[in-house]
Structures are given as C-alpha cells and as structure tokens.
Structure 1
Amino acid sequence: MDEHNAPDVSDVAAAEQGTRPRRRRPEPTPVQRALSLLVRREHSRKELTRKLTARGVQAEEARAAVERLAGEGWQDDARFAESLVRSRVAAGYGPRYIQVELETHGLDAAQVDKALASFEGDWRELARDLVARRFGPERLEDLSAQRKAADLLLRRGFDGEAVRAVLRGLPED
C-alpha cells in the first residue's frame, strides 16, 4: 500500500474495536471561525480580522466575515470598547492606559472617548482604592512609599492630578 492509500491510524483502531471510523469535520468557514472567537469574548474589528488571518483565512475573506458579523450585530466596536473599559477598571487601570489599549485595537478617537465616558465612577477614587489595596489603608507617610505609590499609579495610566490627590489624601469632590 502506498502512503496515499494507507488507512488512517484512527480508522484502523476503530475497525479493530468494531466501531465506525470518525467522520472528519468540514473546515469551518471564516464566519464560523469569527463567531467561535466572539462567543468567548468581545473583539474589535481589527483584532478579529487579525486573528482570522493568523489562522489562515485570506485577508479579504476575513474582512468580509467581520463586516457580515458586524452588520448582523454579532460584532460591535462600541460594545467591545465598553467591555474592555469595565474589565480594565475592575483590574485597577486608569484612563490613559485604557485609552492607549483601545487605540491599539483600532478604535478611533470618538469611540475611545465615548467608551471612557461610559465609566460612571471617579478615577481619583479608583486610584485611592488601588493604593489602599496595594499599600494598606493608612496614609502614605514615608517618601519611599509615596514614590512607589506614584509610580504604580502612573504605570497604571492615572494622570498627575489623580496621583497628587491620592498622595495628599485630598477629600473627594
């Protein structure tokens, strides 16, 4: 027997056990692949297109699949952006970090601004909570702890105003 006509190992094993060989699943369409990604979590158009092309889908087919799903309501950049904002806020990230991440996902300035405006909390309060969780509820007295707290907040995307408010222990507005 040549290699092209050789039985599949799973077919041989199935024949020995007296069961039918497994049927091969047909290759999923680009739309099916995109849907399987979207059911796990929201994706931006840019991210979804990139993932499809990385999985071997032609660029034009990937764009068409994403367009179709967006048209049918399965993919929505605004919904993705709001989801990402909620997720990053819950993880203790500030507006600048979130803004940059949204921009890397291919969202324009208007979509980014709208998503950040959907956050109904107070960025200063979020910064205070992050520092309290990380350094304890007492006020940061020594300079070393203050620097560490400021560095943490800046890395997490909070602006200088929020950092100063936390370090000074200013009351909420």
Structure 2
Amino acid sequence: MTGPGGDGGETSSSARNRRRRPEPSPTQRALGLLTRREHSRKELARKLVSRGVETADACAVVDKLTAAGWQDDTRFAQSLVRSRAGAGYGPGWIRAELGTHGLGAEAVLAALASFEEDWADVARGLIRRRFSGDGPLDVAQRRKAADLLLRRGFSMEHVRTATRQE
C-alpha cells in the first residue's frame, strides 16, 4: 500500500498539517531558564551556548536581561546560599561553589553574610538527620559526625559546637 505521495510511507493528515514550532530566540531561551531558577551570568551564558546560541549573542542576551533585572548575580548567590545551607552544606563548601560561578570575592562574602541563620544550627540539624534525634553518642560516632561536617564545609568551631554533648 502506498501513501498519497507514492513513496510507500503512510502519513496521516494531522501529521502533514501539524506546524513546527518556531525556534525560540536566544532571549526566549534565557527567560525559559530563568523562570525555572536563578542562574549566574556565567552559568546562563554557558547554557545558552550549549543550546546552540553563538557566544557573542549569548553574552548580549545576558547583558540585556541583567540590565532589565531578570538576571542578578546577587540574587543568584543569596538563593544558592539558602538552598545549600538547607541541604546541610557549610560556608566553606558554599564559598567554593559560588566561586565556580564566576562571582567575585566581595559578592561571595556578601551572600554568605546575608544568610540569617546560625551555621552551627545548620550543622546540628545535619547531625540530627544523620545520627537520629539524640545525635552522636560515642566517640566513634562523634568522629564520623565531625568528618561529615568538615567534608560539607563547616569550620572546626561549627564542628565542635555541633558534636558537643549537651
């Protein structure tokens, strides 16, 4: 059986009549990314380039969206600090991650300073989640807890406070 074109393939009328969506503009792509979550300038430009946007066009779009207030590195940094702290990461880890996003030292320090919770409380919360409500009971568990906190970017002061027996 051959289709209407005589090529042997059968096509339905709805498939032939279906219109293809136009390719989104670089600005539309960037706005689509920014509506899902905050992005740093560096991250947004990298994602646009990976989606086929020329580097110069990506930079121009990011500049335009930054000027319009859609993209803001300060807002991104504060959002990342809240998110990572909520997941149990300390200021050392977060500082390093913010550095990978192309943020300057001042922006990183300002974002960490804007965090309103106590880092020792964040560390205690992580310990409670990992070691039941009572926390680490013996020396071996306290050592494991300290290792976990250090890997997560907490300072020794936070580790001592969080693993101290009440």
Match in the other structure for 2:113: 117
Report the TM-score when normalising by structure 2. 0.89
1:25 paired to 2:10: no
TM-superposed deviation, 1:6:
9.9
The residue type paired with residue 99 of structure 1 is: R
The residue type paired with residue 31 of structure 1 is: T
Query: CA distance change for structure 1 residues 124 and 26 in 2, over 3 Å: closer, same or farther?
Result: same
Give a deviation string over 1:7-52, Cα, whole Å, max 9, x none.
9x89x32x2x5x8711122211111110110011100000000001
Is the Cα contact below 8 Å between 2:39 and 2:76 reproduced in 1? yes
Match of 1:64 among 26, 51, 60: 60
Query: CA distance change for structure 1 residues 139 and 48 in 2, over 3 Å: closer, same or farther?
Result: closer
Give a deviation string over 1:107-151, Cα, whole Å, max 9, x none.
111111111011111111111121112112325332210111011
- What is the number of equivalent residue pairs in this alignment? 161
What does 1:28-67 correspond to in 2, within 5 Å? 28-67=24-63
Match in the other structure for 1:103: 99
SS of residue in 1 equivalent to 2:17: coil
Is the Cα contact below 8 Å between 2:127 and 2:135 reproduced in 1? no
Deviating beyond 6 angstroms after TM superposition, the runs of 4 or more aligned structure 1 residues are none
Match in the other structure for 2:79: 83
Match in the other structure for 1:141: 137
SS of residue in 1 equivalent to 2:46: helix
Q: Distance in 2 between matches of 1:102 and 1:134?
A: 26
1:167 paired to 2:163: yes
> Percent sequence identity over matched residues?
58
Q: Distance in 1 between matches of 2:147 and 2:75?
A: 31
Match in the other structure for 2:154: 158
Unaligned residue ranges in structure 1 (runs of 5+): none
SS of residue in 2 equivalent to 1:39: helix
Query: CA distance change for structure 1 residues 57 and 142 in 2, over 3 Å: closer, same or farther?
Result: same
